[in-house]
Amino acid sequence: MQDITFIDGGSLPTPEGLTREWVKTAAENRDEDEKLFSLVRETFQKKINVGVHVPTYPQFRDMIGQFLDIIKDEKNCYEPYVVKDEYAKILELEIIDEVAKQYREETGETLEVRVCIAGPTDLYLQAFGAAPFADAYHIIALDIENFIKQAFKAAKNFKIRVIALDEPSLGMNDRIQFSDSDIISALTLASTYARKQGADVEIHLHSPLKYKLVCETPVNVIGFEYAATPSYIDLLDKKILENSNTYIRLGVSRTDISSLIGMVNETYGVNAWKEKEYMQKIVTDLETPELVKKRLENAFSILGDRIKYASPDCGLAFWPDQDIAFRLLENTAKGINAFNAEMKNQK
């Protein structure tokens, strides 16, 4: 079998002294580029250093707002919601290109990167609410395709291995009124270009309830939150995945920080929000490399080589600080690497 590849969800907490609002303003106004670029490059390099095989550009902005703010601005569009090529860009990809260039100079290898983009369903719900206007839904999907096209153009010194469509609403939000055929059409419009470029297209779900629908699109990787909810795996039929040549991105470390801190509080009789030294228990006692490896072993016994990628369940934007977030990424890397090594030894 091929090694399982460690990818991350993208988002992280900002360093002490900086806020997500500052990052949003700096990215839009472009008046503090030196500080912003340093933040993004240093954080991206840290992801590489702690062992993420295919890192995602550092996500310090709101996932939906980052794209919808551009799409909704009339000056960026040919007509309402039809974004012009020159505005369909992810600034962070231009910033990390310098890190990728240095990586190639030092290692002789081209860095593979995961690019996360808000999916058409979540963007639509934010822009238009629940009323199902299929034409607008498909325009949003074409905008996403445009962002993806521009992302490949920005990848001068790195290779895009994975395009991830962030669609947590699918399977979780009962406000969605689109028919299955409309959803399949939108996901197809948003993913076809990336697949033609040879990239995997992942859909990041919280629950795999709608996975059969996804299997009817060019999206070939389904990601879901297995670590926090192992029972989700029972929704999947391996034969359906095999017949559609669909793979899984498995969440193997928990990211639901409030629940994790609640477990620490209960175990040690403390309030870790105030006694912050106890927060380290999350990565020393709870989300350990050994547990990550065990989760992978359990899931592999059910899905086998349908598991292609592993990651934390979701992003880490609202974790207490960067240090503990990177410790989780490091533990995840160690657990995945240990699993891969064990599988090789069994051959």
Distance CA 204, CA 152 (A): 20
- Judge whether 13 and 60 are in contact, CB under 8 Å: no
pLDDT tens digit at each of 347 positions of the chain: 789 999 999 999 999 999 999 999 999 999 999 999 999 999 999 999 999 999 999 999 999 999 999 999 999 999 999 999 999 999 999 999 999 999 999 999 999 999 999 999 999 999 998 888 999 999 999 999 999 999 999 999 999 999 999 998 887 767 788 899 999 999 999 999 999 999 999 999 888 888 999 999 999 999 999 999 999 999 999 999 999 999 999 999 999 999 999 999 999 999 998 888 899 999 999 999 999 999 999 999 999 999 999 999 999 999 999 999 999 999 999 999 999 999 988 87
SS3 178: coil
pTM of the predicted model over 0.85: yes
Distance CA 153, CA 144 (A): 14
308 phi, psi to nearest 5 deg: -110, -35
Measured in whole angstroms, the distance separating CA 332 from the mean position of its chain's CA atoms is 15
For the sheet containing 221-224, what is the strand order?
5-6, 307-312, 247-253, 221-224, 200-204, 158-166, 111-118
Domains in the chain, ordered, with CATH? 5-250 (3.20.20.210)
* CB-based contacts of 244, cutoff 8 Å, min separation 6: 215, 216
Q: How far apart are the first and last CA of the chain?
A: 9
Strands 158-166 and 247-253, by their bridges, are unpaired
CA torsion angle for 44, 46, 49, 53 (degrees, to 10)? -40
